Structure 1
Amino acid sequence: MTGATRVLVLNAGSSSVKYQLIDMVDGSRLASGLVERIGESGGRLVHAPHGREKREVSALFADHAAALKAVAEELTADGLGLDSPELAAIGHRVVHGGLRFTEPTLVTEEVLAEIRRLIPVAPLHNPANITGVEVARALRPDLPQVAVFDTAFHATMPEYAARYAIDRRTADEHRVRRYGFHGTSHQYVSRATARLLGKDPAEVNVIVLHLGNGGSVSAVSGGVCVDTSMGLTPLEGLVMGTRSGDIDPGVVFHLHRVGGLSIDQIDELLNRRSGLLGLCGDNDMREVMRRADEGDAEAKLAFDAYVHRLRKYLGGYYAVLGRVDAVAFTAGVGENAAPVRAAACAGLEELGIAVDPELNAVRSGEARVISPEYSRVTVAVVPTDEELEIARQSFALVHQT
C-alpha cells in the first residue's frame, strides 16, 4: 500500500469529540483521545499517542472549533499533524442517514443539507455530527471528508421489517419507519464473528447484541442485516441505561392526558430517566449488579427486566433467521458483564444456545468463544471497533473515487 494511508476518525457529540488516527497499512492506532465538556467549565482533553505517555490538558474549550484545534495541536506535537501528506481522509460518525445514505458518502454541501433535514429524527446527534464535519472541513478544506452512517448497515432490512403498521401516507410524509442504529458496530462484529468461526460472512447467520449504556440487537443473515431492535430513534428496543426501550405508545397519551406531562417532559422521561436508571436509580450495570448481589430488590428488578428483554429479542431473532450459527456479545456491558451474558442465555439450551461458566468468566480484550464444545450455536464475546470500521470504509471510498 502506497501513498497517504492514514485516516482520522472523528465522533463529535453535543459536548465531546472522540478521535483516533489509524494507519490503514495494518490498522494500527497512531493516536487516540477525547475532548469532553466542550462549552463548559472544566473542559478536558486526554491525548494518547501510540507508544508514548498519555497527556491531559485542562482548559475551556469554547466550542467544537476550539476543541478540534487543540486536538490538531496535540497531533502536531507528535509529528502526526493534520497537515501531514500521509493523511488520506477524515471519517465522521454520523448517526442518522435516513433512506438516502446507505453507504459511506463523501461530504458535500448537498450532503450536509440532507443531514440537516434529518435533524428532527436525530435531534440529539446529527447537529453535533454536522458541527464536527464543518470544523474539520475548515481545518483541512482540501481533504476528503467521509460520512459513515449508523443507520446504513440496517438499510437492508426488508420493507415488512422496516415499516410500522400505520397509515402509509402519513409515515412517508414524515419519514416514519424503522432505521436502526449502532450499525457500524453491528457490521464490524458480525464480520469479526464470522472470522472467529473461520467462515465467510456470507455463510453465517449471527445475532449481535451491542450492549452499552445504549443497547441494540441485530439479526444478520449472510452478512446482511434483516432486523434490528432500534427504530425511528434509538429509543425503541432493549431496556437501556436511561432509555425505556419498547413501550406501549398509549403510555405517551396517558402521561399527557391524565398525567399532565408535556411532550417534551415525556421525551425527557423516556430517553433520560427510564431504563435501568428509572427502575433502580443507577444506569451503570456494574453498580446495578453489585446492588442486586447484595439483595437490593430494586436493582434485582432492574437486572431481571434488562435480561428479560434480551431473551425476548434473542428468541425472536432466532425465529426471524431460522438458523443461527452464532450469538455475539459486544460493547461495554456485552464485553465485560459475564452475569448478563449468562442470564441472557440461561434456559435456551433447547435452541442450541448455552454458556460455559468457566469460559464466560475469562476477561480478555480478544474475541473468544464462551459456549461449550457441544453447543449447536457458538456464543462469543467479540470486542467492537467502530473507529476501525469507519476508517476502513472511509479509506475504501477515497480510493474508489
Structure 2
Amino acid sequence: MKKKFSFLTLLLSLVATVQDVSTVSAQSSAENTAYNKWSVEINYGFNKPIRTLTARYNTPTLNPTHIDLGARYMLSPKFGWKLDFGYDKFNERDNTPSFESTYLRSSLQAVINLGRALNFETFTNNFGALIHAGLGGSQLTSKNGFDGQDYTANGIFGVTGQARLSNRVVLTADLTGILNASQDFNFDGMGATSPTAVDGVIINITAGLTFYLGKNEKHADWIAEKTISDDLEKRLSLLEKSLLDSDKDGVADLYDLEPNSIAGVAVNTKGQSIDHNQNGVPDELESYLDKTYGKKGDSVPSNNNIEELINAGYVNVYFDSNSSKPTSTSLSGVGFIVKYLQSNPSKSVDVIGYADEIGSSSFNTELSRKRAEAVKEIAVKSGIDASRLNVIANGEDASVDKNSKEARQIVRRVSFKVK
C-alpha cells in the first residue's frame, strides 16, 4: 500500500509540474507558429534490467530486443508532449537457467527541447538534444514462469541526442531509464518481487529516426523561440526611439508629422511648421527674413519670387574668423534653403563659400570650401540629397574694407544660387 501511495504522489506532482511548464511555454510562443509541430519516431536497440531478477537468473549485458514507437507534439520550440509504446524481450544469458518474458509499456511524456533552452542555434544548426520524462503503464508476461499478466505502473526518464539529416528526418540516439511500481513478479517470471517503493528498473539504449510532419519548412526542434524578454526589449527599444525628438521642435518623433522641421521655428502639436499663407516658408522664418533682410515697407516675396531673394544674396550663413562652423544665429539660413528644396524637389542650389582677405589667398580659398562643405553637410543631414547641393569655393571677397572688423564679418559667409 505504501509503495502505491508513493507512486501516486509522484504521478500527481509530475503532472502538475509539466502542466505549469506547458502553459508558460505555450504563452511565450503564441506569436511564433510558423513551424511544424508533429513528429513520429521509431527506435531499435538494447535493454538491460538491472534489478528484480530471481536468484541465479540473469540477462545479457546488452540484450538487442528493444523496439519503441512514438508520436510527439510540440506546443512551442521548447516544450511538448510525447506518447510512446515500447517492446522488450528478456532472455537468459549464457550458463544461467533459461527463461523468456515479454515487457510491453506505454507512457505519456513531457518533452523539453534542451537545444532551444540552451540556445544551441548560436553555435550549431544540425545537432540538438531532448529531455523526456513521464508516467505510464506496462504489462509483463512469462513464457515458462507465472501464468497470466503482471500489470505495473512506470515512470520514465531519458535523454535524446539529435543529428539533423534534413528538415524532415533526424537521426537520434537515446538513453532511457524505466522504473516500475506495483510489480508483482520479477522480469524473468520465476519469482515474486520484494516489497519496495520501486520494483523493476530497465535501461534502454537505442538509435532511431524521427520524421517531421507538416507543411512548414522546419520543425519546432530547430526554431529559436521568440522569448518574452526579447519581445519586451524590442518594444522598449522602439519606445525609446519613438520618444526621441530628432529635430528638437518639442514634439516626439512618434507624433511628429514633419520630423525634420527647421530648428527654432514654431510648430503645431503635430510637429509641422506653421505656414498660414502656404508659401512654403514658415511664418516665423518669414518674419525673421523680413526683419533681417527686408526694407521698411517691403514684404517677403511670394513662393514664386523666393528664388530671386536667394539668388540676390538675402539668405546667408555666417562664420567667425578662421572658422568653418556656422554661427548659431545664422543657422536659420540653412533651414530656409532646406525648406525651399523640400518644397521644390526639381531644384538644386550652388553652395558658395567666401572668406575675408585676412590670410593667404590659398588658405582663404580652402577655408571658403570648408565653409560651403559644412553648410552642405547640415543640409544633407536635414534630408536633402547631396546631388542637389553643388559646393563652390569662391575664396576671398574683396568687396569690403578689409580693415573693418564689422565689414569682414559680412563677407565671411556662404550664400546660395538656385539652379
User: Under a length normalisation based on structure 2, what TM-score does the superposition of the two structures give?
Assistant: 0.18
Higher relative contact order (CA 8 A, sep 6+): 1
Structure with higher strand content? 2
User: Under a length normalisation based on structure 1, what TM-score does the superposition of the two structures give?
Assistant: 0.19
Structure with higher helix content? 1
Larger Rg: 2
